[in-house]
Amino acid sequence: MLLSVISPTQNSNRGATDSDRTVFPLSGIARAVGKMLDDRTGGRLFWVRAEISQCSFSGKHCYLDLVEEDEGTRLAQFRGTIWGSRLASIRKDLGGEFDEVLKPGREIVFSAHMAFHAVYGFSLNIQSIDLDALLGEMERRRKETFDALKKEGAIGRNARLTLVEVPQRIVLIGSGGTAGHTDFLAHLRNNPYGYAFDVGCLDAPVQGAKAAGALVQALHRAGRAAMRTPVDAVVLLRGGGAKLDLDIFNDLTLCRAIAAMDIPVITGIGHETDSTLVDFVAHSHCKTPTAVADWLVDRMASFESSVGREGRAVAAECRAQLSEQSGWLQGMQSLLVERPSSFLRRERGELYNGANAIVRRTRTSMSISQEALVRLQAEWTTGVAQLPKQWKNALEEVESTIQREALRQLKQQEERMAAMKSTLSLLGPGATLKRGFSITRLDGKSIRDVSVLIPGMEVETELESGTFISQVKQVSPDQKGKADKT
């Protein structure tokens, strides 16, 4: 069929026809291939899946190298072309995803016409690109990656690490100069509380074919840095972008690297509605880079607030304890002041009562004994001659007994009075003076409160060795004591 469309006269000028072989011109072969392709395809559109290996723009047109590979083996390779008339329409359909779709390494699903040119060969003229198919494929890969991470136990591994209450030493991984990177640092350094953060930056691209590998290397550098100096957390940032822009954060190798970190990793990827797999394997995640900064500041503010509450509780408890102990001390002070005086008064009264009782009993006993002696003496004088001898002996024995009992009673009372005198001497002011204390009196009364004194008054001070008169120059009340009373 191919040879039938080649005109034999087309090569007549260049000859080379003999009985053994026929030589066809190259242009004839090209036309035959083109005609056969047109006959077979009929100008129809075909839906094709391929990976972009090269992409370039020239004027209003886009030129692609499309490939299909299987485990590193290239199965097919064709040129793809998007002419200017279709490129504007495709750009409009893809919207914000345009730059992320048309780049090397991206697999796309597109409709195209098959075309063959005698000079440029076979190519696919792309008419449209199916973004939904691209996003569906991305979601399928994301689900496979998530299932693999879940099976490996990577999800939740980093979250089990302990994040310090006050994370101030931060390693920041992101693309320096981008809006997300700049906003994060501005929020962190200009926080309203004036908290200080020590931030070390590791610059790494956050989009493009090599971004995932660069981010993994940055994580490894952060881990090595943490072995040399304390690091509280690693923050991974990427500002907002299209869904395909954020697809690198679903990379399996990147997620494994985060899960294997020995430092808590905090992520802030994309916008409020964006979600990537690195959020699942990280210790904590926030919706945006600025939200990460606010989260760190709020965590410190919460810790400071809790410390303040604990401090106020401790202060209140201390005040309560001081008030309670102050009352107890005042009670003990009053007790120590009043109890010795009360004891002395009581002992003095008992001593006086005991002494009076001894004197009364002694006098009574002596009076009775004297009366008995006088009576016995009178009886003995008047009737001694008539009394039997045994009566005389009995009288002498009674007299001896009375004398012994009187002496015993006197000695016993003397010993008791001596004991009371010793007690009084120990509790009396004399013993206090001997220990180095003094007693200051005003108008003969001891002074217990300096508030009764007025400068110019004369007071009498008693020491162990004597007394002296002094004049009050200045009165200084105890301010601590006043504060405790109030």
Average pLDDT over residues 135-146: 80
pLDDT in tens, 83-127: 988 888 888 888 877 877 788 877 888 888 888 877 778 888 888
3-state secondary structure 393-440: HHHHHHHHHHHHHHHHHHHHHHHHHHHHHHHHHHHCHHHHHHCCCCEE
3-state secondary structure 154-185: CCCCHHHCCCCCCCCEEEEEECCCCHHHHHHH
Walk across the sheet containing 445-446 and list its strands.
Answer: 445-446, 439-442, 458-462, 467-471
Residue 10: pLDDT band (50, 70, 90) is very low
Average pLDDT over residues 338-355: 76
Q: How much of the chain, in percent, has pLDDT values that exceed 90?
A: 18
Task: Report pTM.
Answer: 0.49
- DSSP character at residue 76: E
Residue 384: pLDDT band (50, 70, 90) is low
pLDDT(223) > 60: yes
Beta bridge pairs of residue 203: 174
Residue 386: pLDDT band (50, 70, 90) is low
3-class SS of residue 344 = helix
Q: Which residues contact 275 (CB under 8 A, 6 or more apart)?
A: none
- Backbone dihedral angles phi then psi of residue 386, each to the nearest 5 degrees: -85, -20
Are 278 and 249 contacting, i.e. CB atoms less than 8 angstroms apart?
yes
pLDDT in tens, 288-334: 899 999 999 998 888 888 876 766 777 777 777 877 777 777 777 77
Q: What pLDDT score does 2 carry?
A: 40
Average pLDDT over residues 130-144: 77
pLDDT(1) > 50: no
Average pLDDT over residues 169-173: 93
Per-residue CA distances from 229 to 36, 188, 198 (Å): 70, 21, 12
Residue 273: pLDDT band (50, 70, 90) is low
Q: State how far the Cα of 370 lies from the Cα of 377, in Å rounded to an integer.
A: 10
The tokens for 272 are: 């409020």
CA distance from start to end of the chain: 118
Spelled out in words, what is the top-level CATH class assigned to the domain 154-287? alpha beta
Q: Which residues contact 405 (CB under 8 A, 6 or more apart)?
A: 365
- Backbone dihedral angles phi then psi of residue 12, each to the nearest 5 degrees: -65, -30
Per-residue CA distances from 198 to 157, 170, 195, 288, 382 (Å): 26, 6, 10, 21, 126
Angle at 114 between CA 110 and CA 120, to 5 degrees: 115
pLDDT in tens, 458-470: 888 888 788 888 8
Average pLDDT over residues 146-165: 91
Query: Pick the residue with more confidence: 50 or 235?
Result: 235
Q: What pLDDT score does 33 carry?
A: 79
The distance from CA 234 to its chain's CA centroid, rounded to whole angstroms, is 16
pLDDT(408) > 90: no
Q: State how far the Cα of 274 lies from the Cα of 270, in Å rounded to an integer.
A: 6
State the DSSP string of 349-409: HHHHHHHHHHHHHHHHHHHHHHHHHHHHHHHHHHHTTTS-HHHHHHHHHHHHHHHHHHHHH
Q: How many CB atoms lie within 10 A of CB 222?
A: 22
Query: Pick the residue with more confidence: 38 or 447?
Result: 447
pLDDT(12) > 60: no
Residue 380: pLDDT band (50, 70, 90) is low
- Backbone dihedral angles phi then psi of residue 62, each to the nearest 5 degrees: -125, 135
Helix, strand, coil percentages for the chain (3-state, nearest 5)? 55, 20, 25
Q: What pLDDT score does 233 carry?
A: 93
| Gyration radius from the chain CA atoms | 57
Q: Which CATH superfamily is domain 3-139 in?
A: Nucleic acid-binding proteins (2.40.50.140)
Average pLDDT over residues 209-221: 88
Q: Which among 10, 34, 35 has a CA at the least distance from the CA of 23?
A: 10
Q: State how far the Cα of 62 lies from the Cα of 100, in Å rounded to an integer.
A: 14
Q: Which among 38, 8, 41, 40 has a CA at the least distance from the CA of 23?
A: 8
